[in-house]
């Protein structure tokens, strides 16, 4: 149990285009999902916290108009990178929070590799 | 700002030996700690977690130790196997109590 999927697993796009990444919790409902970005040989950096039915909470320095997050259901959150540029190339990882026994545990998706040309 | 850090960026061990990966955290408000394993090109995989009301927790071949006095966390892997080769991250819930702050990561390399 506690499987999180992401789609696509990788995407290459031209500079200036927008890219949508989906994050799904397959076997549990997640009120809260998180989006992270990871550059090569670096740690995961939290971008935003996505709550079902409400606006996402963005971390300092993350542009909310550039990284649009929608959490329309308890099993799906989407991240749209608008007007992507080469510096947005990164590994984007989502996680979904599952509550069990009074403990919230984050389960991560496999990540999406974005390359902007 | 406060952060989670690791003492060693890389660790090389021989197959069958025990591995110890260390992590220092600075946020005294953190009460939940997790170790994740990340293989190349994949998302982090949950290994084991511990709450601040405990100082030790054991799983299958893994043990997490928490020393709140010195704000130190460690992951012990018994009888390390080649499949254990990966980057290991510690994470803590910090001020939010919910969102995770990740450490820098330790690359574990298991040699035959």
The answer on pLDDT for A105 being more than 60 is yes
Residues 30-59, chain B, touching A (beta carbon < 8 A): 32, 34, 36, 41-46, 49, 51
**What DSSP element (H or E) covers A72?**
strand A67-73
Q: Give A40-82 pLDDT, tens digit per residue.
A: 888 999 999 998 888 899 999 999 999 999 998 999 999 999 9
Q: How far is A16 from chain B (nearest CA, A)?
A: 25
Other CB atoms closer than 10 Å to residue B15's CB: what's the count?
A: 13
Cβ–Cβ < 8 Å for A48, A69: yes
pLDDT of residue A36: 96
User: 3-state SS string over B21-62?
Assistant: EEEEECCCCCCEEEEEEECCCCCCEEEEEEECCCCEEECCCE
As a residue count, chain A comes to 117
DSSP A59: P
Which pLDDT score is estimated for B28? 87
């Amino acid at each position: 149990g506690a499987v999180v999927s992401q789609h696509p697993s990788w995407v290459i796009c031209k500079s200036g285009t927008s890219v949508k990444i989906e994050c799904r919790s397959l076997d549990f409902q997640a009120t809260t999902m998180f989006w992270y970005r990871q550059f090569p040989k670096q740690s995961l950096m939290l971008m935003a916290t996505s709550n079902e039915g409400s606006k996402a909470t963005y971390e300092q320095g993350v542009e909310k108009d550039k990284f649009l997050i929608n959490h329309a259901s308890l099993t799906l959150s989407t991240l749209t990178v608008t007007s992507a540029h080469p510096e947005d190339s990164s590994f984007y990882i989502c996680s979904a929070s599952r509550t069990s026994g009074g403990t919230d545990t984050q389960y991560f998706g496999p990540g999406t590799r974005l390359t902007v040309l | 700002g406060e952060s989670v850090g690791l003492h060693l960026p890389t660790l090389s061990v021989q197959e069958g030996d025990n591995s110890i990966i260390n992590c220092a955290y600075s946020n005294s408000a953190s009460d939940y700690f997790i170790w994740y394993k990340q293989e190349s090109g994949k998302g982090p995989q949950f290994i084991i977690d511990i709450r601040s009301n405990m100082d030790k927790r054991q799983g299958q071949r893994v043990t997490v130790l928490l020393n709140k006095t010195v704000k130190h966390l460690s992951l012990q892997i018994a009888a390390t196997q080649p499949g254990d080769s990966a980057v290991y991250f510690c994470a803590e819930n910090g001020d939010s109590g919910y969102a995770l702050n990740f450490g820098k990561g330790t690359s574990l390399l298991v040699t035959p």
